[in-house]
Amino acid sequence: MADRQQTDPAPSWWSRPEGPADPHRDGVPAPRPEDARDQGASPAPDPAGDLPQQPRDDPQPREDPPPYEDPYRGGPAGGPPRYDPWSDQPLQAVDRGRRSRPVRLWHVVSLGAGVALLAGGIGGYAGVLAERQSNTRLELPQAAAADRGRAPESVAGIAATALPGVVTLHVRGTAGSGTGTGFVLDQQGHILTNNHVVGDSKDIAVTFSTGESVTAELVGRDTGYDLAVVKVSGVRGLQPLRLGNSENVQVGDPVVAIGAPFDLSNTVTAGIISATGRPVTAGGDKGDGSDISYVDALQTDAPINPGNSGGPLLDSSARVVGINSAIRGADKGDPTRQGGSIGLGFAIPINQGKRVAEELIRTGRATHPVIGVTLDMQYTGDGARVDGKGEDGKPSVVTDGPGARAGIRPGDVITKVDGQRVHGGDELIIKIRAHRPGDRMTLTVLREGRERTLEVVLGSANGS
């Protein structure tokens, strides 16, 4: 039996074409107009547009439905628009988007480059951030900033006190150029140094610890003591070093040396006094003995190297107790000979340096204490032997000289000075020059197998 559609009135928001619904079997839609023409029947309007029509079983002809009315413009009476679910104009449309374009190679390359740049930037930033965070987190333990002041008796305290009064000398002479050290003696600009630093000099430049350089002139020098004085002019704010007393120095006392080893200005080294009264001779390059210096030296293990010559050796109160002058290297025949310090440095006692400096400033020359005898420097026995004859046929004991008045005779062997043993002619000269002219000395003399004690008042001779 054919179903019939309900004829109840439709809601106001929904309407369908007026007139009886076409009966069809089991909900099968009416045939398409094409199908109706094919069957010799008049085409029936298709309210659903393109929906397929199925042939109906009812062969009876039907009346034509009312003309189609535009559901959006109302019915014949021009009423309000009505929605027709069978209209051929659907209310919704499918948005299929823009037409896809083919993917090209440059698209892929551009995308890859962009991704690589972005990844690199992000990675670099992350690395820098990680490094900063890592550095920030890594904090090694460190002492807090403290007062830079040092105890006056410490090495740092001594250096701070003495450095403004120490100078570096650059010397140019006939034999070449060299570097040495000196220290300020007074506000007038006098500077004490070694003779071998400024000997035969033409030009002398003095550089202070502040870096200021000025020219200097030679005031006086003495080969026998290996001391010299130069002077600078027009320099303000000079800071002379205080002079100590070398007779108060004892073995084991701490000392500080300041100089310019190998032209390294303001170098500070420290050590102790390792010996006192050490007989040292230096020079002798001329071969006639005129350039030999004799020093009753202070021995120290404070490192002293070429360029330290003329620099101060200071005690724990920053007072000068010696003038650094010589070092002992390894034996010349030793293939491993060391050219620098091996811990054997020697300084002229400041008591001797003070006297010589005063004479050089006053007169330009220094005097030497003498006993008025000629020594046999080839004697190999113990002690210093008085030669049998003097130079140029003169007597070995100067007539009416200090030695002659004390009773010294040719051939006597002097074994002690003031009770201290001497082992050769050099040591005797050194012991004598450790005194001043006019000082009294006690000599022990071995004559014909017997010892005699003689008292000598030292005479004076001009140095070279």
Q: Active-site residues: which are they?
A: 196, 226, 309
Q: For residue 215, give the nearest of 195, 231, 200 by alpha carbon.
A: 231
Contact 396, 410 (CB under 8 A): yes
Find the helix or strand (DSSP H, E) in which 192 lies: strand 190-193
Within 13 Å of residue 369, how many CA atoms lie on the same side as its CB? Answer: 21
Contact 273, 298 (CB under 8 A): yes
Interatomic CA distance for residues 443 and 452, integer angstroms: 8
Name the one residue in this structure whose structure tokens are 């029509």. 53
Q: What is the DSSP secondary structure assignment for residue 117, as one 8-state letter?
A: H
Long-range CB pairs of 80-89 (<8 Å, 24+ gap) are 82/14, 82/15, 83/13, 83/14, 83/15, 84/15, 84/16, 84/17, 84/47, 85/14, 85/16, 86/16, 86/17, 86/47, 86/48, 86/49, 87/47, 87/49, 88/48, 88/49, 88/50
Interatomic CA distance for residues 353 and 323, integer angstroms: 7
**Residue 453, beta-bridge partner list:** 444
